[in-house]
Amino acid sequence: MIRIPHTVKIGESIDGRIARILAEKRSDLILDQFGTLLAGLIRPVPGASTTKTVSLKDTSNTARTLYVYSSTAPFSNVLGGTRVGVGSSSTPAARTDYNLGAILGSLANTTDGVWTSSTGQITFSGSVFLSAGGTVRETGFFSRWADGAPTYYDFMLFHDIVSDVVIGAGKYAFVQYTIQL
């Protein structure tokens, strides 16, 4: 079983940037989707002229074909970035998950990933606005892709269940994922 250690931190923020960290969890469960995407990105020679696709389930549980590489349609799928989300479900995370159990707010874009070579870590963070507030019990890290239309689709790569974090109404749930490579 493939495991990639990562840490998720959850905090509350009034401005979406500066957060008071309220919970932290170390985990090593990655979703099948992350493994599938990684296997598609790392390919054997002669990869330069061979079209490579992967099939991932978006957040609506619809299988989508992503072109990791195509010499005939290089922009048929474009990575649109990464996102984070929070939810209120405490159902244990499973490798086959494709979305949060009970999403709070909307998915939020993350900062650019920051690579720290001395520690072998990549860190992403984002803040989800919660107009009504709520109790965060789960977090997710998502990859966002655009098709040629462009229509955007989100694909969950990490899903973590955390101890209860209460976020007040009109505040942000700050989420930081640090992935250890």
Q: Is residue 107 part of a domain?
A: yes
For residues 104 and 87, give the distance between their C-alpha atoms in angstroms, rounded to a whole number: 5
How do residues 1-52 score in pLDDT, each as one tens digit?
Answer: 556 788 999 999 888 777 788 999 998 888 988 888 888 877 666 555 677 7
How do residues 92-134 score in pLDDT, each as one tens digit?
Answer: 999 999 999 999 999 999 988 899 999 999 999 999 999 999 9
Beta strands in 99-151 (DSSP E): 103-109, 114-116, 121-130, 134-147
Is pLDDT of 143 > 60? yes
Q: Is residue 47 part of a domain?
A: no
Residue numbers of the domain that contains 66:
3-41+52-180
For the chain, what is the domain count? 1
Q: Is residue 21 part of a domain?
A: yes
pLDDT of residue 171: 94
Beta carbons within 10 angstroms of residue 122's beta carbon: 15
Task: Please state the pTM of the whole predicted model.
Answer: 0.89
Q: Is residue 76 part of a domain?
A: yes
